[in-house]
Structure 1
Amino acid sequence: MRLDKFICKSTHFTRAEARAAIRDGRVKVNGWYDCHEATQVHENNVMTLDGEILQARASRYLMLHKPAGFVSSNVSGRYPSLFNNLTHDDDNLHIQDVENLHIAGRLDADTTGLVLITDDGRWSFNVISPARECEKVYRVNLRDPITEDAIKQLVNGVLLRGSEQLTLPAKLTVVNEKEVLLTITEGKYHQVKRMFGAVRNKVLALHREKIGPLSLDVPLGQWRYLTAEEVAYFYDE
């Protein structure tokens, strides 16, 4: 973990405040002053701030029901940040800590549904890595009725524009002629929309219902912490 990030995880400093403390010589690593914010530190290192030993708080793992019209970023731009939906609570989720959280598998601004948020980089890598074959289930509303030929192509893999390899095999359940459930294990840029574009259809609405064993179970715009068992799933071999 970067030294500036470790300080944020051990205090209520913003990233800018952590970097300033390092530059001002207030931080030591294993007894030595370190002026490099990007220095990698580990659990067996001893970090101090103003002579006090720093202890990183436990990582945070959240499920959030993303509304449409929010961007999957810590910073608002054309659309407001999804993190605007995170509010104060009684469990140390302070507003100044939000910048140290990130999303494990982003959704487009117009897409709704399940989003996982954490400050644990190794955990989020396991969520999004195709090698883990973590299934993501999307409810897809289409412009045109789904055809048998399109189903066959999507299940076997389609060639996305700009790609040289087919998408990995998918699962598809027909809800009705213009609504399907698509299950994939990848997370390419705009993948679901591009997959249906490859079979000459258009996605009108997209909603992520499930990631691995986690099903969305909070109201629109609301969030909750994951349980220890839910977190552990993405660390199991």
Structure 2
Amino acid sequence: MEEKLTRLNKYLSEAGYCSRRAADKLIEEGRVTINGTVPEMGTKVSENDVVAVDGEIVKNKEVKRTYLAFNKPVGIVCTTDTSVEKDNIIDYINYHKRIFPIGRLDKPSEGLILLTDDGDIVNKILRASNNHEKEYVVTVDKPISQTFVKRMSGGIYLEDLDQTTKKCKVKKINSHTFSIILTQGLNRQIRRMCEYLNYEVTKLQRTRIMNIPLDVPVGSYRELTSNELKTLNELLSDSTKIHKSHIQNTNKFSSNRRNRKH
């Protein structure tokens, strides 16, 4: 019987140690060993190999995965580097096992962020980041005009990122507050968009990620329900299909252009 081999970064993510992206970084830094030897990127391991990070053995065994919905308070940083940032999300939650946040939410912002020990789902969500919805409620420093709503929803060119935001759904809630649904995750995107229109964000709260709503008090968390997890995986599966289809269409278009040139 042929021995089952798994890429090292996937092994670490399936063991619940970290995401694949974080695993790649650990491997590049030479902090991971296989049977006492520092491996190359892309190395595969078997069930009989001994994998360690910083000398600590990582066991890849079937475990019950954790999926949390957390209402992050203002001032907490979405990092697992507890040695550098004292106001980090890991120490704040103080969960009984190793977990890590999926994506980020700025320090001055509050609201929903997901945490897990399932590196595979982290990889899927980050890969599909330009396809799934994230909803926010935002308060700004002056009255919201119809021009503001129209320009925010139509796409804004952010010069420092050299990128135009995708069209999105914006709805005025009251004189200084609006909701916005994004399918894009640019750095400080909402704050940058508001700044471009000479508005300053005074409060920003994420209220939904895909099918997961924010329904716990600030500073609290809950486990995702089995139905939420099922729907989430279905949405991620659809996003992956769209992503692969887009790549295939892009490659086909590029090939046709090259053929026309010849």
Give the shorter-chain TM-score range.
0.7 to 0.9
Matches within 5 A, 1:162-181: 162-181=160-179
CA distances 1:100-129 after superposition (whole Å, capped 9, x unpaired): x33222111111100011233442244344
Aligned-partner Cα distance in 1 for 2:100–2:130: 19
Letter matched to residue 81 of structure 1: N
Aligned-partner Cα distance in 2 for 1:139–1:7: 34
Corresponding residue for 1:223? 221
Corresponding residue for 1:46? 47
Corresponding residue for 2:92? 85
Q: Answer with 118-127 or 137-146: which moved more.
A: 118-127
Q: Check if 1:199 corresponds to 2:197.
A: yes
Matches within 5 A, 1:69-108: 69-76=75-82, 77=84, 80-88=87-95, 93-94=96-97, 97=98, 101-108=99-106
What's the CA shift for 1:177? 1.2
Corresponding residue for 1:30? none
Runs of 4+ in 1 over 6 A off after TM superposition: none
In structure 2, relative to structure 1, the CA distance for the partners of 1:2 and 1:127 (3 Å cut) is: closer
Letter matched to residue 168 of structure 1: K
In structure 2, relative to structure 1, the CA distance for the partners of 1:224 and 1:167 (3 Å cut) is: same
In structure 2, relative to structure 1, the CA distance for the partners of 1:193 and 1:130 (3 Å cut) is: farther
Aligned-partner Cα distance in 2 for 1:62–1:37: 33
Aligned-partner Cα distance in 2 for 1:41–1:220: 42
Tell me the SS of whatever aligns to 2:170.
strand
Matches within 5 A, 1:113-192: 113-129=111-127, 133-192=131-190
Corresponding residue for 2:210? 212
Corresponding residue for 2:252? none
Aligned-partner Cα distance in 2 for 1:134–1:185: 5
Aligned-partner Cα distance in 2 for 1:130–1:20: 29
2:65 to 59, 68, 77: 59
Name stretches of at least 5 consecutive residues in structure 1 with no aligned partner.
Answer: 27-33
In structure 2, relative to structure 1, the CA distance for the partners of 1:208 and 1:135 (3 Å cut) is: same
Identity of aligned residues (%): 23
Letter matched to residue 224 of structure 1: R
Contact residue 32 and residue 38 of structure 2 kept, 8 A: no
1:68 to 70, 74, 98: 74
In structure 2, relative to structure 1, the CA distance for the partners of 1:67 and 1:37 (3 Å cut) is: farther
Contact residue 13 and residue 118 of structure 2 kept, 8 A: no
Aligned-partner Cα distance in 1 for 2:175–2:135: 18
Name stretches of at least 5 consecutive residues in structure 2 with no aligned partner.
Answer: 1-7, 18-22, 52-58, 239-262
Tell me the SS of whatever aligns to 2:165.
coil
CA distances 1:113-150 after superposition (whole Å, capped 9, x unpaired): 00011233442244344565211111101011111111
**Over aligned residues, Cα RMSD in angstroms?**
3.1
